[in-house]
Structure 1
Amino acid sequence: MKLRSAQWYAGEDRNAYIHRAWMRRGIPGDAFAGRPHIAIANTASDLTPCNAHLAEVAQSVKNGVHEAGGVPLELPVVSLGETQVRPTAMLWRNMAAMATEEMLRANPIDGVVLLGGCDKTIPALLMAAASVDLPAVVVPGGPMLTGTFRGAPLGCGTDVWRLSEEVRAGTLSQEQFTRSESAMIRSRGHCNTMGTASTMALVAEALGTVMPGTAGIPAPDSRLLEAAHGTGRLAVEMIATDRRPSTFLTRASFHNAIVTLAAIGGSTNAVVHLLAIAGRLGVELTLDDFDRIGSSVPLLVDLLPAGRFLMEDFHRAGGLLAVLSEVRDLLAADALTVTGQPLGDHLEDAPIWDPEVIRTRSAPLAAEGGIAVLRGSLAPGGALIKPAAASLHLLQHRGRAVVFDSIEDFHARVDDPDLDVDADSVLVLRGCGPKGYPGMPEVSNMPLPKKLLEQGVRDMVRVCDGRMSGTAYGTVVLHVVPEAAADGPLARVQTGDIISLDVANRRIDVEVPDEELARRAPSAAALAGFARPERGWQRLYVDHVLQADSGADLDFLVGSSGSEVIRESH
């Protein structure tokens, strides 16, 4: 077995001496003689609360690597905490991917175990691994246990949105809202709803990048440490067989990811992440594939925000493999995984233990669980809506636009009692795309105007070029392409224009003649609000970020550079 790390350690010259000597800090001499060196790319950080426990997970990975004859080497990488990082963690997903890729390429390693959990960490790690193309396997950090408040379970994120709206509506006191805070986060782990973190962990397993049966194990569950140990052993095996991302991540793998996304009722954020990962691999994937493959897949998982239960229940009920077994005929079951075996081989004994949480194919939560891709005069490049999280009566709707030129404009005016808005209005928020904000923040699920909440209104059609938290819900059209800051039609919409939504026919239109829309100047207030950074990462990002339909990656990061290091350092 020819090891990449031997390029650093083999031989008797000065360079090999330096590489070995500086690593000999308790490592035995035989570590440099034919044993594979495995990096553990760890996103643990006290400022990423959902990933703070990954140091313990890393130790179990190390034990497994040691047992299999490898040399484990922990490598801290950029960590992005969704709840903490401002202005939005998505601004740095590409930076985290680029930094991780460069560190994997620059160091004497033969393979990597990727430890992630919070929303952007698994996508960034997979983008990096795809671009450097060393043997790589993911260990998701797992969801937290279910907390309760006033005797009822709390869903992370989803119940934050719900309870905060109840405060604004006057049906929950501020004191009670604050008391719920200490009950929301019961344990280590990421959000316990089917938000982006849970979605990306499960989708990563469906892609074939996670040891089957691992994604969705709760973070405090001892079986996660067992799986981490097994993953360490697997990483050594992957190097022996040269099992790299390019050898098993194919178009069929992404087909399986899309089927999974629909069947679990996963986050719309997965679309932009999967497009970015595919772009790093050179796999052809488009927005239309998500609708074509996923729109007819039944929704089988009854979890918040689209259903009732939480991730601890999902694991108890059989987990992802039970879901995939139920939709096996819709999968490309021969697509390979990190184990070297097809995905279908792992579905032979995967029963559903609680059909209330994971529905059978004959009794789905919804007949169609996929994400719908809309096009029309308002979104010529496409936009998304998650019908399972929307209100049925709003899936076909016409209403008068109420336009906000920035998130600051929205916050300043939404609760103004004189705002000219009613339940049939369409709330439009622009300037929140990749370039305009910058970073495409999770603001598309706009809070409803207070005066409408007080009237009992709980959902409205909302349109935005930004993203939405995977834990959120509502009739939200998002990821509008082109965004307003890229001179999309959204920049020319005016308050009072009629917007029509027709999800069944996949349309989102502004009822303004094309000629008139083209003649209009973009909103001066919107233009004034667009990001214009002068330096640093934000400047690089705004100058090079692609639109949402291309995964919002940077144009110069699309594709792979491989693992070769061109120049020696000494």
Structure 2
Amino acid sequence: MDLRSRNITLEPPQRALLKGVGLSDEDLELPLIGIANSFSELSPGHIHLRTISDYVRRGIRYAGGTPLEFNTIALCDGLSGAFVRHKEAQRYTLPHRDLIADSVEMAIEANQLDGLVAIGTCDKIVPGMLMACARLGIPAIFVFGGSMLPGRYKGRVICGGATEMIEATGQYKAGALSKEDMDAMVENACPTPGACGAMVTGNSMGVIAEALGMGLPGSGTVPALDMRQLRLAELAGRRIVSLVRAGITARDVISREAMENAIRVLCATGGSTNCILHIMAISREAGLDVDLDLIDELSRRTPHLCPLIPSGEFSVPEFHDAGGVQGVMKRLAPLLHLDCMTVTGETLGKNLERAEVRDERVIRPLHDPYKPEGGIAVLKGNLAPEGAVVKQSAVSERMQYHVGRARVFDSEEDATEAVLAGKVHEGEVVVVRYEGPKGGPGMREMTTVIGAIWGKGLQNSVSLITDGRFSGAIRGPAIGYISPEAAEGGPLGVIEDGDLIEIDIPRRKLEVRLDEAQIRERLARWTRPAFKVERGCLRMYERFSSSANKGAVIEP
């Protein structure tokens, strides 16, 4: 077997250094497998990953490989998200996705490792790891950290720090929820480690990893520290050695057809709009031609089969017990590319022969879907020439079409203050701009203002549009990711208070009722606001990140 690690292990100085970390001559003759572990004590999504890594290491050893572990950072969007008093912290979470990809690339290439097992859980960590896998093109497998079990309070399901906590905090700040109830919800929200237990971004990305074929069957939805997860982790260790020996690389798995499969699964499960950013970024690393038009086309032709929180009533652990990703792909089989290679070493079609649906309430049949179209919709128009994204499955029927006067804010803080102060009224459209990748910088989640809108009871009468992004936990008429962003001279930057905004989700339309001449005249007078950051990593992101329609990636 031709191992690229021999570039290092055959030379005396390097062999001596590797013996300095405890490796034997026998170890150095085996495939060297990197384990990129995002363990951290800073969030419930990553606190348990050392245990998972132990099982991966065991599997690698059993299969005849040498495991070598290194770490990446892992930030939690929730910890810097809705209602945080100093939300400047969240400017770092999206840029750190790209830093993870870079750090994994550096560790693998600088050490000439033969294969990669990437372990991660939450919103930006999973796509960062998958970006690295696609970029490197070596044998690789992804191990998802698993879903948190839901908490309960007074008969109400609480999926971590996500939807229920955000909306309840809005109610509490608006005086509609008692401190006793708020404190009790805090106490009961996160009973186990893992990604918040709804179909929010973390779990949505776990589902995408499995649907792509980069995670083993069952791995994308299994509860955290469930013994089934630990057995899958050990199997992943065994499988990576087999992939190295067979020469099956991540780029053999992450094909255009596999990405189409993953997009369909995202749409069928009502997954997070944030995943669109990450699909674009992963596709770019893999050299795939994927754009927003393709995503919208696939969503229109893929029924929404799984009513998962926040678009429905079931948690991700319940989805797992009902059949999980393999179950929904079995339902979607007539629409999928079944000849795609997976990390099992077999095709998707072969994997699905073993799949089953165990609860039709959770995974509906094609002929009786939860909703006829997928959960994601891409809107375009003179406000979003290059696209905007909405989770249509989480928007009420009443708000699928809305025309209202614009209330324009240049930051989320200003918009939130106005909503909580009662200065935003029924029928209006809240416009939050200069929150995109460059304009933020960092493209924060507009979760606090959405929580405020819910807290004031305006979710069925007020829409929000922004060049920022959203937590996968939100629901309601929230249209984000507008491209080009305001800071790049997009039309959003010249909207004025009182302009009439038209949102038509069924017709995929986002327009301001101005003619082209009026928009051109305003744009001619527009000047870009001054840069906000003078040092540190955000300075580069502010200057070189792309708009959301290209994945908000660094493009120097």
Shift of 1:412: 3.1
1:562: which partner in 2? none
C-alpha distance in 2 between matches for 1:119 and 1:90? 9
**Taking structure 1 as reference, are residues 531 and 240 closer, same or farther at Cα in structure 2, changes over 3 Å only?**
same
1:480 alignment partner AA:
I
C-alpha distance in 2 between matches for 1:74 and 1:433? 35
Q: Report matched runs for 1:89-100 at 5 Å.
A: 89-100=93-104
Shift of 1:113: 0.2
* Residue from 63, 68, 80 that aligns with 1:68: 63
2:462: which partner in 1? 460
TM-score (norm 2): 0.94
Aligned residues of 1:390 and 1:475 also touching (Cα < 8 A): yes
C-alpha distance in 1 between matches for 2:194 and 2:450? 27
Return 5+ residue gaps in structure 1 as ranges.
557-570
Per the alignment, in what secondary structure is the counterpart of residue 49 of structure 1? coil
Aligned residues of 2:31 and 2:241 also touching (Cα < 8 A): yes
C-alpha distance in 2 between matches for 1:153 and 1:499? 36
**Taking structure 1 as reference, are residues 346 and 516 closer, same or farther at Cα in structure 2, changes over 3 Å only?**
same
2:9: which partner in 1? 9
C-alpha distance in 2 between matches for 1:407 and 1:127? 29
2:400 alignment partner AA:
L
Q: Which deviates the most, 540-549 or 79-88?
A: 79-88
C-alpha distance in 2 between matches for 1:218 and 1:449? 31
1:439: which partner in 2? 442
Question: After superposition, what is the alpha-carbon deviation per residue over 1:32-68, rounded to whole angstroms, capped at 9, x for unaligned?
Answer: 12x1011110000001331110000000000000000
2:20 alignment partner AA:
W
Q: Report matched runs for 1:58-207 at 5 Å.
A: 58-84=53-79, 86-88=89-91, 89-156=93-160, 157-207=162-212
Aligned residues of 1:137 and 1:209 also touching (Cα < 8 A): yes
C-alpha distance in 2 between matches for 1:260 and 1:454? 34
1:372 alignment partner AA:
A
1:87 alignment partner AA:
Q
Aligned residues of 1:78 and 1:99 also touching (Cα < 8 A): no
2:337: which partner in 1? 332
C-alpha distance in 2 between matches for 1:75 and 1:522? 51
C-alpha distance in 2 between matches for 1:196 and 1:453? 22
1:561: which partner in 2? none
**Taking structure 1 as reference, are residues 265 and 31 closer, same or farther at Cα in structure 2, changes over 3 Å only?**
same
Shift of 1:468: 0.6
Per the alignment, in what secondary structure is the counterpart of residue 202 of structure 2? helix
2:86: which partner in 1? none
2:285 alignment partner AA:
R
Aligned residues of 2:31 and 2:65 also touching (Cα < 8 A): yes
Shift of 1:327: 0.8
Q: Report matched runs for 1:523-538 at 5 Å.
A: 528=529, 531-538=531-538
1:125 alignment partner AA:
M
**Taking structure 1 as reference, are residues 139 and 457 closer, same or farther at Cα in structure 2, changes over 3 Å only?**
closer
C-alpha distance in 2 between matches for 1:299 and 1:436? 34
2:411 alignment partner AA:
S
Q: Report matched runs for 1:490-509 at 5 Å.
A: 490-509=492-511
- Whether 1:471 and 2:473 are equivalent positions in the alignment is yes
Aligned residues of 1:433 and 1:465 also touching (Cα < 8 A): yes
C-alpha distance in 1 between matches for 2:167 and 2:452? 14
C-alpha distance in 2 between matches for 1:230 and 1:532? 47
1:62 alignment partner AA:
R
Q: Which deviates the most, 85-94 or 335-344?
A: 85-94
1:364: which partner in 2? 369
* Residue from 24, 31, 34 that aligns with 1:28: 24
Per the alignment, in what secondary structure is the counterpart of residue 420 of structure 2? coil
C-alpha distance in 2 between matches for 1:148 and 1:522? 54
* Residue from 43, 49, 56 that aligns with 1:48: 43
C-alpha distance in 2 between matches for 1:458 and 1:161? 17
C-alpha distance in 1 between matches for 2:25 and 2:533? 50
Aligned residues of 2:459 and 2:476 also touching (Cα < 8 A): no
Question: After superposition, what is the alpha-carbon deviation per residue over 1:186-221, rounded to whole angstroms, capped at 9, x for unaligned?
Answer: 101111000001100011111110112221010031
Per the alignment, in what secondary structure is the counterpart of residue 26 of structure 2? helix
C-alpha distance in 2 between matches for 1:187 and 1:54? 13
1:71 alignment partner AA:
T
Shift of 1:251: 0.6
2:545 alignment partner AA:
V
Shift of 1:520: 2.0
C-alpha distance in 2 between matches for 1:200 and 1:289? 19
2:83: which partner in 1? none
Shift of 1:379: 0.5
* Residue from 409, 429, 436 that aligns with 1:426: 429
C-alpha distance in 2 between matches for 1:242 and 1:64? 19
**Taking structure 1 as reference, are residues 84 and 169 closer, same or farther at Cα in structure 2, changes over 3 Å only?**
closer
- Whether 1:286 and 2:291 are equivalent positions in the alignment is yes
**Taking structure 1 as reference, are residues 349 and 18 closer, same or farther at Cα in structure 2, changes over 3 Å only?**
closer
Per the alignment, in what secondary structure is the counterpart of residue 3 of structure 1? coil
Per the alignment, in what secondary structure is the counterpart of residue 450 of structure 2? coil
TM-score (norm 1): 0.92
Shift of 1:437: 0.7
Aligned residues of 1:194 and 1:304 also touching (Cα < 8 A): yes
- Whether 1:258 and 2:263 are equivalent positions in the alignment is yes
Question: After superposition, what is the alpha-carbon deviation per residue over 1:130-150, rounded to whole angstroms, capped at 9, x for unaligned?
Answer: 112221100000001121111
**Taking structure 1 as reference, are residues 523 and 126 closer, same or farther at Cα in structure 2, changes over 3 Å only?**
farther
Question: After superposition, what is the alpha-carbon deviation per residue over 1:126-182, rounded to whole angstroms, capped at 9, x for unaligned?
Answer: 111211222110000000112111132212301012212332443321231122101
1:227: which partner in 2? 232
* Residue from 290, 298, 304 that aligns with 1:299: 304
User: Percent same amino acid at aligned positions?
Assistant: 35
Aligned residues of 1:444 and 1:462 also touching (Cα < 8 A): no
Question: After superposition, what is the alpha-carbon deviation per residue over 1:532-554, rounded to whole angstroms, capped at 9, x for unaligned?
Answer: 21122111111211111111111
Aligned residues: 546
C-alpha distance in 2 between matches for 1:412 and 1:449? 9
1:424 alignment partner AA:
G
**Taking structure 1 as reference, are residues 522 and 180 closer, same or farther at Cα in structure 2, changes over 3 Å only?**
farther
C-alpha distance in 2 between matches for 1:108 and 1:250? 24
**Taking structure 1 as reference, are residues 125 and 264 closer, same or farther at Cα in structure 2, changes over 3 Å only?**
same
2:85: which partner in 1? none
